[in-house]
Amino acid sequence: MEEKILVQVDHLKQYFPAGGKKVVKAVDDVSLAIKKGETLGLVGESGCGKTTTGRSLLRLVEPTSGKIVYDGETIFDSENNIKKDMVEYRRRMQIVFQDPYASLDPRMTVGDIIGEGIDIHRLCGSAQERRDRILSLLKTVGLNSEQANRYPHEFSGGQRQRVGIARALAVDPEFIVCDEPVSALDVSIQAQVVNMFEDLQQKLGLTYLFIAHDLSIVNHISDRIGVMYLGRMVELAPSDELIFHSVHPYTKSLISAIPIADPKTARQSKRIVLSGEVPSPVNPPSGCHFRTRCPYATAECAEREPEWREVSKGHFAACHNLEKIN
């Protein structure tokens, strides 16, 4: 894999007004870098900010502050007031949404849904070329040419997600935010779709940010995994390192919730069961956001936000008590 960074996000914040003076800190100072050709997985419970992070870095929602660099070009920098025109980047940076039904226009044929991006970016010179491209994209995602004239409701959930993927691929992107792309699908279909993402990556040299709440799916497809809790990144490491040698109590709790078939692996991970719900991002706990559910919390955890530090090569975590816990 090339070591070139394709997407770099620094101190990304995404705050939304929540009535009166209140704000929801959906993404609160997240930094990450995605290497060309890799899959960075992003996990966490719902409401942790992972989806908002994906949408903000594509500027589908304009970030409150921070810096986004794509392929060496700064496309957003709140400090220096840089807001690049996104037309070119909309082609290069695509998204596949969680709910394939809600994201496909029910009045358009699948052929036209796939062709829309081709038209917007004027990628085909003739109607024939456009049609050939649509048919070839259908084939790429395992659908057939007759299906181009059908409507989304005529497809199963898995097939609709294939249409969503063909639509993203239609503009020949380099980078795709996969926003919980299998969460709405039957378990039996999930593996097929995940495998397809992997095959497409191999074939087309794609780079993914793969967002999911299910750590076992993310682990399967990702080179590295980042874990978010209440708007902040708490741990980031190469996938195997994260699964077998996680250091942050929140990551440990997520891992201990994965059903493990191999008893040897099961013994290595100390089981941590969390009590309570994720607090509201309108009023997050002071210091470490995880402290209200953390079995290791100390007075310092309420006073100071833990620093993001490298615990071993390429393995980062934010916690005051790593030495005591591990």
Residues that bind ligand SF4 (CB under 6 A): 249, 288, 290-291, 294, 296-297, 301, 306, 319-321
* Nearest distance in Å: CB 287, ligand SF4: 7
Q: Helix (H, G, I), strand (E, B), or coil: what is residue 310?
A: strand
CA 211/CA 278 separation, integer angstroms:
18
Q: Which amino acid is at 313?
A: K
Q: Measured from the CB atom, is 169 or 319 closer to ligand SF4?
A: 319
| Three-class DSSP labels, 234-279 | EEEEEHHHHHHCCCCHHHHHHHHCCCCCCHHHHHHCCCCCCCCCCC
Collapsing DSSP states into helix, strand and coil, what is residue 212? Answer: coil
Smallest separation, CB 218 to ligand SF4 (Å): 21
Query: Is the CB of 118 or the CB of 230 nearer to ligand SF4?
Result: 230
CB atoms within 10 A of CB 221: 20
CA–CA distance, 197 with 110 (Å, rounded to integer)? 20
CB burial of 262-287 (b: ≥16 within 10 Å; e: otherwise) equals eeeeeeebeebebeeebbebeebbeb
Q: Whole-number minimum distance, CB 246 to ligand SF4, in Å?
A: 12
Q: Using CA atoms, how far apart are residues 18 and 6, in angstroms rounded to an integer? A: 33
CA distance 95 to 13: 20
In angstroms, give the least distance from the CB of 296 to ligand SF4.
4
**At CA 21, angle to CA 62 and CA 65, rounded to 5?**
25
Report the residue number, 49 or 306, with the smaller CB distance to ligand SF4. 306
Q: What is the SS3 assignment for 185?
A: coil
What's the closest the beta carbon of residue 304 comes to ligand SF4, in angstroms? 9
Residue with tokens 């491209």: 133
* Separation CA 10–CA 174 (nearest Å): 20
**E-assigned strands of the chain?**
5-17, 23-35, 39-43, 65-70, 73-77, 82-83, 93-96, 175-179, 207-211, 224-229, 232-238, 308-312, 315-318
